[in-house]
Amino acid sequence: MANCVHCNKNGIDWFSKLWGDSSAPAQCHKCNEFSHIPVSVFTKIRLYNFIVMVSLLFCSYYFVTLIPVGAYIIYHIGIYTYVVRTTDMVGISKVEASENKKKSYLFLIASAVIAILLYISIDLIK
């Protein structure tokens, strides 16, 4: 359980803390307020994951073994567990969360349109 930024009680379970973001925040079981982990934290994790993944894939190719793949999986689980336990959450209102959800839907629709246009353009080039 994690401390809520609004009531300072253990009201947010670790799974909600891990998966809660600004468009789908975690809800406190004690005060029913919303909070999430800042996006910048996960951006840093993705950068570290990329660096570790590239180096382990190089080792896997160079040494012809799958041990680095297992090491990457263990590293991935460990880094997310560490971040979720040590990072403080940020409060957010329900209105802000619904606005962020609309923006994320628009981003997904735009991404799908771009993917379809790329697929069509590649098909036309052939």
* Residues 24-73 pLDDT 10s: 888 889 998 888 877 777 777 777 777 877 787 777 777 777 777 777 78
Split into its structural domains, the chain has a count of 1
Is the pLDDT confidence value at 111 over 70? yes
Give the domain extent around 81.
2-93
**The pair of three-digit structure tokens given for residue 25, joined into one six-digit string:** 């925040």
pTM, two decimals, is 0.58
Assigned domain for 23 exists: yes
pLDDT score recorded for residue 126? 63
| Position 86 in a domain | yes
Q: Is residue 99 in a domain?
A: no
